[in-house]
Structure 1
């Protein structure tokens, strides 16, 4: 009895984790962590079973698994070094393919817009040709795919648009001991020269629980403040993604 108790306490938890990892598939979004392992130590977050374009790297000596925290130290990785993601990996969503799957003109969700403030109109001509229009909801309204229209209520899966004031609207700080002042950090100014969607540290959040996501679409940039998931609750600027390990500069 003593030996059995020791075995269960010592080895069964590890066996449970290994069994969970073995059931995972390289290149496929996993329901537990809502991530997809792309290699031994890289992964992407998944939204509605579709991987995002941002590739996140695990810390040194950590490997991508299907555990709650995705990256585990010295763990057995889902993706082996000599294997590639299976061909069943879901392709990134595109407006063209989404519209082509419909049979008539109508409104569709823009899955490339995490704020849900824009949507698509698939317009089919009599000759069968397709025109795709990218439209915006009125201010403070969100597109709801269930009703195929804009509404006052933000759907649960949508993220908030940053409410940080543009730099030209931020009151100037009056210096008391010097004639120069440091310009306050601004989400919009950080995203100003970004040419592709990129994640940055939210310098207004010392806990590192949130981060700035500069979302680029149709040549326009939106500054979004997003939260790290509970499985990887800290944003790490060294990997430009959320991590289970709290960086030293976070409170």
Structure 2
């Protein structure tokens, strides 16, 4: 009975959301009918009228009052790309702590907006991953029956998450042990007063002189929860001053 009540609450929440984001329907939030990602008509009394308007280059038809918004402003929850979902799949948007990475999986996001591929979780049986769930009822996994009822689909279309290769060939040959990673976090926290009370942070993996790998450190009840990460592609170096991967090799790196 409790599960039924919870599902009904989710359906009600999704109904409120779906009114503002279904493609090819008049949106209650802005009285606009999005024909596709880049064109729309105005609506009145839940019916489209007038000429089809094309959005400017680089913008998409959204649930915003401004209608056409820059793609960079789409966060998948507050501002929605009404006729598109790919921008929200496997992407850490709007400082969200989690992102959908497949139809039924989600992953933790780092503070710098990177998916932590070592922290991937599965939704419960009968649930699918819908990013909007975070903003609407604080759960990224939605019962598929509730989503079907209101006409929503999972944020991602892929059935299984396959992280892209992010490990550089110049990175250390083997991942350091958990204890070595924890020692690195402790050393960083002791050396930098700004990190001494931080809940989580990123720090260089000092054993890698190439500066291509780094550590994610999160305080646990006892010790640290750590993740060993590597920079790659056009930004192959970790910069400890910004805690981001960068294109220019920092001073002191080989």
Output the TM-score relative to the length of structure 1.
0.36
Structure richer in helix, relative to its length: 2
Q: TM-score, normalised by structure 2?
A: 0.35
